[in-house]
Structure 1
């Protein structure tokens, strides 16, 4: 997504940017309302490839993915570093413990599936892979996934220009308006490399799910403030960006279709502990 690189895994070290990582709880209700869910065929494939119903959701946020897995018959425990997000998820009936995944203590608990939905880039990639191996049962499945959402150029370019005006000193302003899918695929390939290095998993697989979602002007402007490049802006900076994007969507007739790609890196815990 344009100028919002912290929403996707990257070669840099976003897991060290704790202020950004824990900024999404500023408006947990909006986050839960505006953010899209995950493809049902992805959820079904993960569940079908797991040995049992016990799921650990790393960086569960408000519980968007967790609720989908619960609806698929799973028993889900969330781990979430932001207490505000965790509180919202609990209101929705989920069990959540507040901690970073690297520091979280499983206390002997084991799981059939570990998921990280749009969150693994906030986890130390080496320590996270080791911790995942620690808490998964033999033949348990690790599934790390997230969306690639690059709006059409008619929306992305006015967004990028407005962001540069509002935040001229931000390094995010140097990002291109739209970035190629291959960049994101390379990031997920790096995740697979870290998993291989543990020596505790079968060879990782890369999955891809393509889908579309239509957005009205108001729906997209509701979602934008929940994204990593905007969660900590001043109100006047945010208003300038939203105004430019809203004008661009108006010029398209008040709505546009987003072409999503959901990428996943998944691996099975080796059968012998």
Structure 2
């Protein structure tokens, strides 16, 4: 599934939201230098934000299509899984991963992060939590139950689901003995979505490929669009980005 997002890299880049400016600034300002590694850089959304904050960014992504798009926007990107990526002696002042660290083997990823970070280097992995207004979130969850009644239920408010990612990443970092000052900052953000904008981001979600393979994607898009139309065709997302940060000893 991690290699499915490049099917339409341009759509992915257009539909996925940027990360909160406060998060970008916090990571960039706390790193001991400007050299940053973006793990699972995708089309370069976070990479470009860190470049704008003054960082020298190298991206690594498993999908050549995504890496190629990132390069077209001015991001240097290499193609590899992070676990098998060869740093060739290169080290960095910060390592970040936006919406991707859950694809990485936690133990191998933590060990490799320790290897490529310089002393005092910053580790920061983060996920944005798309939290529609409660009534609309309940409607989206109902669509999922109707279309895929035998699948795990989708929470109307998904924030708690991300705690597993944070716990697993924190446990892996602690096990290496190479990191200190583990923290879990959160960054609220707001964005207005039209019906079509929301459906575009749904097409780029991790659920899109299995839904399409099951012949259910069109039904989910149609019913989700109808739910948004029922509230006027647009809505405001009051959301949050959750992060795990640490410092290389």
Fold conserved (TM > 0.5)?
A: yes
Q: Is 2:13 the partner of 1:35?
A: no
Q: Distance in 2 between matches of 1:23 and 1:132?
A: 25
Shift in CA distance, 142/75, structure 1 to aligned 2, threshold 3 Å: same
Q: What secondary structure sits across from 1:234 in the alignment?
A: helix
Q: Distance in 1 between matches of 2:89 and 2:138?
A: 50
Shift in CA distance, 242/97, structure 1 to aligned 2, threshold 3 Å: same
Query: Would the aligned equivalents of 2:129 and 2:158 in 1 still touch at CA under 8 Å?
Result: no
Tell me which residue corresponds to 2:70. Answer: 89
TM-score under structure 1 length normalisation: 0.86
Aligned residues: 248
Query: Would the aligned equivalents of 2:38 and 2:57 in 1 still touch at CA under 8 Å?
Result: yes
Q: Distance in 2 between matches of 1:208 and 1:123?
A: 22
Q: Distance in 2 between matches of 1:70 and 1:146?
A: 19
Q: Distance in 1 between matches of 2:15 and 2:8?
A: 11
* CA-to-aligned-CA distance 1:106-125 (integer Å, 9 cap, x gap): 01001011000110000001
> Per-residue deviation at 1:176?
3.5
> Per-residue deviation at 1:238?
1.8
Tell me which residue corresponds to 1:248. Answer: 227
Query: Would the aligned equivalents of 2:41 and 2:60 in 1 still touch at CA under 8 Å?
Result: yes
> Per-residue deviation at 1:181?
2.7
Tell me which residue corresponds to 1:16. Answer: none
Q: Distance in 1 between matches of 2:246 and 2:166?
A: 12
Q: Distance in 2 between matches of 1:154 and 1:248?
A: 10
Equivalent position to 1:196, from 170, 174, 199: 174
Q: Distance in 2 between matches of 1:250 and 1:179?
A: 20
Q: Distance in 1 between matches of 2:16 and 2:96?
A: 17
RMSD after superposition: 1.7
Tell me which residue corresponds to 1:218. Answer: 196
Q: Distance in 1 between matches of 2:139 and 2:38?
A: 35
Tell me which residue corresponds to 1:206. Answer: 184
* CA-to-aligned-CA distance 1:204-251 (integer Å, 9 cap, x gap): 111111121111111111111100111343385222111111111111
Q: Distance in 1 between matches of 2:205 and 2:212?
A: 14
Q: Is 2:184 the partner of 1:184?
A: no
Tell me which residue corresponds to 1:98. Answer: 79
Query: Would the aligned equivalents of 1:154 and 1:248 in 2 still touch at CA under 8 Å?
Result: no
Tell me which residue corresponds to 2:48. Answer: 67
Query: Would the aligned equivalents of 1:196 and 1:203 in 2 still touch at CA under 8 Å?
Result: no
Q: Is 2:209 the partner of 1:231?
A: yes
TM-score under structure 2 length normalisation: 0.94
Query: Would the aligned equivalents of 1:153 and 1:177 in 2 still touch at CA under 8 Å?
Result: no
Tell me which residue corresponds to 2:136. Answer: 155
